[in-house]
Amino acid sequence: MATLGSSQLRVGRASVTEVPAIKPARRFSIPSRVGFRVQASESQQEPDLSVCVNGLKMPNPFVIGSGPPGTNYTVMKRAFDEGWGAVIAKTVSLDASQVINVTPRYARLRAGVNGSAKGQIIGWENIELISDRPLETMLKEFKQLKVEYPDRILIASIMEEYDKAAWEELIDRVEETGIDAIEINFSCPHGMPERKMGAAMGQDCGLLEEVCGWINAKATVPVWAKMTPNITDITEPARVALRSGCEGVSAINTIMSVMGINLDTLRPEPCVEGYSTPGGYSSKAVHPIALAKVMNIAKMMKSEFSEKEYSLSGIGGVETGGDAAEFILLGANTVQVCTGVMMHGYGLVKDLCKELKDFMKKHGFSSIEDFRGVSLDYFTTHTDLVRRQKEAIELRKAIRKGLQSDKDWTGDGFVKESESMVSN
């Protein structure tokens, strides 16, 4: 297993000395302004959304999550033009000829009575595989994008079988294009596990440790490991990935799901020639689950990995700046969006930036680091909640205004004593 020491840490494609590192002490510290509402004034400077993650400088923390929004040159170029902080391309493997997609491959869940066609889309299931485009084509497009957008962050998402030589070849080939970092898809829940890829690796910590060791011995750019939520304790694979040399973890990929059964045809959705297969669930409905997983990983990282610059990318159901702020408040450095782009288009990033800035102005935060991780310390155990509540009730009783008993009324203070027990 090849674990990098902090002096060997891969920082973008530059050396550690070239790029100022984020001070580790700032990472999860609680800024003194927390809890104060600061009135935005005319003279207040615009909040700074830029982030520097594992040495990768981004204009904002909003990253296109691997999937259809990063599937070819045209759409990735569009993402850069609209202002996304970084783009993670659709996952590639060495041999795309083995990747055969079906249609329909999506099914949606709407809010409202019986999934009314007018209800808001809250859940999205897909049975889409990784990229079915030839690797050579994708690599050519990565290269072209890096020539046209040298200062923007392009991240390759990769997946392979349990084969050291295949991983090494794939890493070599994507790195040759000039991409800035690699995200490892250890998390696709459908299709690929049949070939022992994706979630099949991410759910097996022994396998994950070995494969991460191969990857990190080879890669020269930062590596993020993308976690599957389809596991009892997501902190276990996250810990293994970081201990095995990955610079960051991303969470979550989609949640294994069955969207529903058509009550007329009695067939499951999405229905391909009368049959279906469980797929991956995303969009608004997964946001609370993603927050819980990111919170668990962030707590683990805070207690076990504090001295090195590790990063965390929050993913799942982001459609507003507020959704993104929640991930950052839990410790995420960046926030990925996939289904949100499929529903609202690439221009969504402008709303996300505006809404995140509005949130920051409301609280007087001038940078992302000002509030990253500050809500993490407000999570505790249920036993501790009970203790805190008992103490608080006792304290409230002790300072309760008004008379404790009728025997306490006095003649002189009668009016004041009456007022002390009025509620309005």
Ligand X SMILES: Cc1cc2nc3c(=O)[nH]c(=O)nc-3n(C[C@H](O)[C@H](O)[C@H](O)COP(=O)(O)O)c2cc1C
The correct pick among 317, 321, 364, 373 for binding ligand X (CB under 6 A) is 317
Least Å distance, CB 227 to ligand X, is 10
96 binds ligand X (CB under 6 A): no
Residue 367, class by beta-carbon neighbours within 10 Å (0-12 exposed, 13-18 middle, 19+ buried)? middle
Task: Specify which residues 334 forms β-bridges with.
Answer: 313
The correct pick among 54, 60, 66, 276 for binding ligand X (CB under 6 A) is 66
Cα 142 to Cα 46, 60, 148, 353, distances in angstroms: 33, 21, 10, 26
254 binds ligand X (CB under 6 A): yes
Token duo for residue 239: 């810990």
188 carries an active-site annotation: yes
Q: Which long-range contacts (CB under 8 A, 24 or more apart) does 193-200 make?
A: 195/98, 195/161, 196/161, 196/162, 197/93, 197/159, 197/160, 197/161, 198/130, 198/159, 198/228, 199/228, 199/230, 199/253
Applying the rule CB under 6 A, the residues between 142 and 171 that interact with ligand X are 157
Nearer to ligand X, 249 or 337 (CB): 337
The correct pick among 27, 108, 190, 226 for binding ligand X (CB under 6 A) is 226
> Looking at 188, 212, 246, 353, which residue is catalytic?
188
* Residue 336: closest CA among 275, 410, 271, 249: 249
Peptide bond between residue 252 and the one before it cis (omega within 30 degrees of 0): yes
Whole-number CA gyration radius for the chain: 25
Q: How far apart are the first and last CA of the chain?
A: 67
90 binds ligand X (CB under 6 A): yes
185 binds ligand X (CB under 6 A): yes
Nearer to ligand X, 124 or 310 (CB): 124
Least Å distance, CB 156 to ligand X, is 11
Here's the x/- map for ligand X, 268-287, by CB under 6 A: it reads as: --------------xx--x-
Nearer to ligand X, 33 or 105 (CB): 105
Applying the rule CB under 6 A, the residues between 110 and 139 that interact with ligand X are 124, 126, 128, 130
The correct pick among 316, 321, 331, 373 for binding ligand X (CB under 6 A) is 316
Applying the rule CB under 6 A, the residues between 18 and 57 that interact with ligand X are none
The correct pick among 276, 311, 334, 339 for binding ligand X (CB under 6 A) is 339
Nearer to ligand X, 16 or 342 (CB): 342
419 φ, ψ to 5°?
-60, -35
The packing angle between helices 205-218 and 235-243, to 10°, is 30
From the list 296-304, 305-313, 332-340, 394-402, the region that binds ligand X by CB under 6 A is 332-340
* Residue 223: closest CA among 163, 173, 176, 171: 171
CA 85 to chain centre: 14
Nearer to ligand X, 105 or 267 (CB): 105
From the list 66-74, 76-84, 206-214, 231-239, the region that binds ligand X by CB under 6 A is 66-74
Least Å distance, CB 14 to ligand X, is 26
Applying the rule CB under 6 A, the residues between 396 and 415 that interact with ligand X are none
Cα 353 to Cα 60, 101, 358, distances in angstroms: 8, 34, 9
228 binds ligand X (CB under 6 A): no
Q: Judged by CB under 6 A, how many residues of this single chain contact ligand X?
A: 27
List of residues 6+ apart from 400 with CB closer than 8 A: none
Peptide bond between residue 150 and the one before it cis (omega within 30 degrees of 0): no
293 binds ligand X (CB under 6 A): no
Residue 330, class by beta-carbon neighbours within 10 Å (0-12 exposed, 13-18 middle, 19+ buried)? buried
The correct pick among 52, 298, 318, 376 for binding ligand X (CB under 6 A) is 318
CA 55 to CA 255: how far, in whole Å? 30
For the CA atoms of 229, 233, 238, 241, the dihedral, rounded to the nearest 10 degrees, stands at -100
Token duo for residue 399: 């300072």
Token duo for residue 28: 């999860």
Residue that is written with structure tokens 């349990």 in the block: 162
Nearer to ligand X, 22 or 192 (CB): 192
68 binds ligand X (CB under 6 A): yes
173 binds ligand X (CB under 6 A): no
Least Å distance, CB 47 to ligand X, is 23
The answer to whether 73 and 144 have CB atoms below 8 angstroms apart is yes
From the list 23-31, 235-243, 314-322, 352-360, the region that binds ligand X by CB under 6 A is 314-322
Q: Hey, which residues are catalytic here?
A: 188
Residues in contact with ligand X by CB under 6 A are 65-68, 90-91, 124, 126, 128, 130, 157, 185, 188, 226, 253-254, 282-283, 286, 315-318, 337-340
